[in-house]
Amino acid sequence: MEQIGAQIDPFLDEVLTRMRRLIAADLPFLPDERQRRVDSLERLLIDPEVSQSERLRKLMEALMVELEYGQTIEVTRQTIDIAGEATLVNLFRLGRLALFYQHLDGGDCGFYNIAEGTWQPLPRRYQGAILAAMEMGAKQRPVDILTLPIGRIEIEK
């Protein structure tokens, strides 16, 4: 038990470091919420008043929240930087796979290009599919099959 106890703290630090890297390399959704979670965990892990079991439990809870992001969809309203201009848009998150935006007037739409780290516009032909996806995500429309431009997967070297 003493050996396990001695290995828990370095393990927790390593897991938190990996979580921080994952969030930094992931799609930019819920940035404030996710950063607050990491900051809270960081404070918790150095607090001598908190037991190892509580630190492990809280870290596992945070990992479960991050895991759940990959299995859910979400529609939010957020201000993003499109071509150097702060723009309020509706965002549609498709798990951890893709992040799409659409202007509030239902006009232009686009996606987050994770390889380049920028928001890029999509051709107008995707407006209907993006709007339908957002309505499904907001539970305003029955779920249906859509064709969305997911793109190709980048392989890290």
Whether 97 and 133 map to the same domain: the answer is: yes
List CB contacts of 52: < 8 A, sequence separation 6 or more: 5, 8, 9
What does the pLDDT read at residue 45? 92
Kind plus residue range of the DSSP H or E element containing 77: strand 73-82
Separation CA 136–CA 138 (nearest Å): 5
Whether 32 and 61 map to the same domain: the answer is: yes
What does the pLDDT read at residue 153? 44
Give residue-wise pLDDT tens across range 118-129: 999 999 999 999
Q: For residues 129, 23, 71 and 117, what is the CA-based torsion angle, rounded to 10 degrees?
A: 20
Domain that holds residue 87: 73-137
Q: What is this structure's pTM?
A: 0.80
95: tokens are 């798990």
Give 91: exposed, middle or buried? Use CB within 10 Å, 0-12, 13-18, 19+: buried
Cα–Cα–Cα angle for 129, 133, 134, rounded to 5 degrees = 120
Residue 152 lies in a domain: no
Whether 6 and 29 map to the same domain: the answer is: yes
Count the domains in the chain: 2
pLDDT tier at 115 (50, 70, 90 boundaries)? confident
Residue 132 lies in a domain: yes
Give residue-wise pLDDT tens across range 31-90: 899 999 999 999 999 999 999 999 999 999 999 999 999 999 999 999 999 988 999 999
Whether 58 and 19 map to the same domain: the answer is: yes
Task: Kindly tell me if the per-residue pLDDT of 135 is higher than 80.
Answer: yes
Whether 79 and 39 map to the same domain: the answer is: no
